[in-house]
Amino acid sequence: MADAKVIPFDDDHRSRGGAAQRPARRRGAGGRRQGGAQPAAVGDVQPLPGVASAREDEPVTAAAEQPRERAGDGPGEGSGGGAGSGDGTLERRVASGLAFLRRRLTGDYEVDDFGYDEELTDQVLMSLLRPVYEKYFRVEVKGMENIPSEGGALIVANHSGTVPVDGLMMQVAVHDHHPAGRHLRLLAADLVFMLPVVNELARKLGHTLACAEDAERLLGQGELVGVMPEGFKGIGKPFGERYKLQRFGRGGFVSTALRQRAPIIPCSIVGAEEIYPMIGNAKTLARLLGFPYFPLTPTFPWLGPLGAVPLPTKWTIQFGEPIPTDGYPPEAAEDPMLMFNLTDQVREQIQHTLYKLLVQRRSVFF
């Protein structure tokens, strides 16, 4: 019964049949690859708290980041340093890296009211996440044109994967692929802001607490806000229920969008469900640690830290058609029936797109 809805994808079914050997085999291959990706994942926790340690690698990562931007800037920038070729760009990179280092060391940078550190996000944190996004999960993005280039909008996505990597990948997707270079401001669970280090990084990445006040303030400022209304129910669901959307909270996101007259953009993420197949939940341990669940996967915690390496699945992120909310009267935000209807509409649209993407998917890993 549980499989009834997922069954149509023969391919997926087969891959699950082979899951016992397949991930094991892939693990060996992936393990070496993770040699490259894993330091980045660990590294993105390190740079901030220890000021000194961060300083060591920041100029390097910042410098590494530069060519990417330069390349994006196109020929205009390139022709400027064209004569100097190799040396010139290297020197410029070092110089901008040092300028960055100087600003960071003297505290001469800006953060917004939510603690979003745009410079740090662009120069350091995004370039740490990018290898994971491009090389590890090989994310394919569709429907970027559905995100408006200005004004507030609420992106509503499904949530999965035991560890909320999907939100981060969605942020990289918008950051790297949106033509207007918009920044996605994610709404995160309160647990994120209770954990040391995590809360600091989350704030600097521009995330904030998932509450109506913060969401409305961000939308009111014309920001692009990302929310995953399933919350822990979605991310901590067992593997057998993958790609089945859970209840969308109380639909608070709809009334927030209605109040700010921001369009709702449904977003479906495929691939995140399989990174940590959760086959069990150590409830007692979770309660002890104060977490909503404690995942048991085929590898975690049996293989220790190695078991915490996600499976290298192939991801697809599809942004759907925006659902406008400006046609409703102001008092619509108080109408529970309308709210339920809109919530269902968003949920259905995400679920349908998920099924469509699953049918198109050739395999979990390619």
Partner 1 sequence: MLVTGVARQLGGRFVRRIQRDPEVDRVVAVDAVPPEHHLGGADFVQADIRQPTIARVLAESGADTVVHLDVTGTPLGSGSRAALKETNVIGTMQLLGACQKSPNIRRLVVKSSTNVYGSAPRDPAVFTETTPPKSLPSGGFAKDTVEVEGYVRGFARRRPDVAVCVLRFANILGPAADSPLASYFALPVLPTVFGYDPRLQFVHEDDVVEVLRIGSHEPRRGTLNSGTFNIAGDGVLLLSQCSRRLGRPTVPLLLPAVTWAGSVVRTLGMTDFSPEQIRLLTHGRVVATDQMRETLGFTPKYTTAETFAEFVRSRGPGLLPPETLERAVDRLAALPLPGSGHPTHSAN
Residues that bind partner 1 (CB under 8 A): 48-51, 87, 90-92, 94-95, 98, 101-102, 105-115, 117, 190, 193-200, 203-204, 208-209, 211, 213-214, 217
In whole angstroms, the minimum distance from the beta carbon of 105 to partner 1 comes to 5
In whole angstroms, the minimum distance from the beta carbon of 81 to partner 1 comes to 10
In whole angstroms, the minimum distance from the beta carbon of 159 to partner 1 comes to 19
In which residue are the tokens 């797109």 written? 353
Closest CB to partner 1 among 215 and 338?
215
Q: Measuring CA to CA, which residue among 147, 114, 141 is closest to residue 262?
A: 147
Closest CB to partner 1 among 197 and 285?
197
Name the residue type at position 287.
R
Rg (CA), the chain: 21
Closest CB to partner 1 among 212 and 306?
212
In whole angstroms, the minimum distance from the beta carbon of 69 to partner 1 comes to 17
In whole angstroms, the minimum distance from the beta carbon of 47 to partner 1 comes to 12
Q: Measuring CA to CA, which residue among 254, 181, 193 is closest to residue 224?
A: 181
Closest CB to partner 1 among 187 and 270?
187
Closest CB to partner 1 among 49 and 67?
49
State the Cα–Cα distance between residues 51 and 131, nearest whole angstrom: 23
Closest CB to partner 1 among 16 and 203?
203
In whole angstroms, the minimum distance from the beta carbon of 214 to partner 1 comes to 5
Closest CB to partner 1 among 115 and 148?
115
State the Cα–Cα distance between residues 360 and 351, nearest whole angstrom: 14
In whole angstroms, the minimum distance from the beta carbon of 184 to partner 1 comes to 16
In whole angstroms, the minimum distance from the beta carbon of 163 to partner 1 comes to 18
* Four-point Cα dihedral 45, 279, 317, 116, nearest 10: -30
Is 215:187 a contact under the CB 8 Å cutoff? yes
Is 55:106 a contact under the CB 8 Å cutoff? no
Closest CB to partner 1 among 117 and 176?
117
Closest CB to partner 1 among 1 and 52?
52
In whole angstroms, the minimum distance from the beta carbon of 87 to partner 1 comes to 6
Closest CB to partner 1 among 195 and 359?
195
Is 175:224 a contact under the CB 8 Å cutoff? no
C-alpha of 257 from chain center: 21
In whole angstroms, the minimum distance from the beta carbon of 97 to partner 1 comes to 10
**Sequence-ordered list of residues with C-beta below 8 angstroms from that of 314, at least 6 positions apart, any chain:** 137, 138, 140, 271, 361, 363, 364, 365, 366
How far from 94 is each of 67, 155, 186, 293, CA to CA, in Å?
11, 37, 32, 45
The CB-side HSE value for 147 (13 A sphere, CA atoms) comes to 29
**How many CB atoms are closer than 10 A to CB 318?**
21
Angle at 164 between CA 158 and CA 167, to 5 degrees: 60
For residue 301, whether the previous peptide bond is cis, meaning omega lies within 30 degrees of 0, is yes
- Can you point out the beta strands (E) in 212-328? 224-227, 264-270, 280-281, 295-296, 316-319
